[in-house]
A and B are shown apart, each in its own frame.
Chain A
Amino acid sequence: MTRVFLLLVFFVLCNTGGELAMSYGVKQVGEPESFRPMALLRFVWTAMRNSWLWLALPLLAASFYSLLILFSWAPVSVVIPASASNYIVGTFGAKYLLKEDVSFKRWMGVVMVCLGVTLVLLTGKI
């Protein structure tokens, strides 16, 4: 059980860190011009030249592979609820690293979502 817990912590840190780095990088790149395949490819190409995206990729790859290992070590109904803490960790990251204005209402929403996700997934069905 200890190895599952340690890998879960590793997964949450890598996943949140990767998403925050990607969000910061994408904000620098800007939005896609349209949803045509060429415009999306241009968007991805521009994003690939952003250093924050290159920080995000290995973190997200590590979180992806740790998730695969977790799926093989523990039931999905155990792995997914524990990852609900991503919402709280991510919101702290958004406030202090991305300098987003997280209002009281948004915090309440995040806490409700986190509790709700935990309750839903503790029923053992996803």
Chain B
Amino acid sequence: MSHEHRLRFKTLAMVLLMVVCANTGDLMLARGMKQIGNVVISVSGLQHALWMTVQNASIWIGIAFLIGFTLCYMTAVSWADYSFVMPAGAFGYAIQTMLAIVVLHEAVSAQRWVGVTLICGGVLLVGQTKPNTTNIGVLPS
């Protein structure tokens, strides 16, 4: 396997792990914020919201997954271009649709199928480009 193929494979595998962490993290954060309710934009309102978020277990689980996402993201962009890693991460929406069908037995609309097809096509196109077009480790400070 050539260096470029190996780089492409390991970057896409890391992106997959990144997507799982990001989706789970977002889901837990949304759940936590729904439990907390509307945030009022004022000093006391923000203080109250901050206090409620640090006491909410769903928020902490969400944060743990988002730390995992950050580590995977940092690793992926240390290997490949940002413009390669970022769109590849959208593959998560295709995984969500598959999970909705297989696990939740949901009916998926034609619009969503078109969207998933576009995402997969887009990720496929991005995935065929050279993963790294800059020289790692020689960037100026």
> Measuring CB to CB, which residues of chain A are less than 8 angstroms from any residue of chain B?
19-20, 22-24, 26-32, 40, 43-44, 47, 51, 64, 67-69, 71-73, 76, 86-87, 90-91, 93-95, 98-103, 105-106, 108-123, 125-126
Contacts and interface: CB of A to CB of B under 8 A. Distances in A.
A115 B118 contact: yes
Contacts of B37: 72
Given A69-B41, A106-B84, 4 more contacts: A29-B78, A43-B75, A109-B87, A117-B93
A113 B87 contact: yes
Nearest to A40: B71
Contact of B78 (A26, A68, A69, A94): A26
Interface residues of B, number: 57
B50 to A, nearest CB: 9
Given A91-B86, A120-B116, A123-B111, A109 B123 contact: yes
Interface SS, B side: helix
A23 B82 contact: yes
Given A40-B71, A119-B111, A106 B77 contact: no
Contact of B82 (A30, A47, A94): A94
B114 A119 contact: yes
A29 B126 CA distance: 25
11 contacts: A22-B73, A22-B74, A30-B137, A91-B87, A100-B83, A108-B125, A113-B119, A117-B115, A119-B115, A120-B112, A125-B100
Contacts of A22: 73-74, 77
Contacts of B141: 28, 51
Contacts, number: 174
A98 B97 contact: no
Interface of B: 29-30, 33-34, 36-39, 41, 49, 53, 66, 71, 73-75, 77-79, 81-84, 86-87, 90, 93, 96-97, 100, 106, 109, 111-112, 114-130, 133-134, 136-137, 139, 141
A20 B82 contact: yes
A32 B139 CA distance: 17
Nearest to A123: B112
A73 to B, nearest CB: 7
B16 to A, nearest CB: 15
A93 B127 CA distance: 19
A118 B111 CA distance: 10
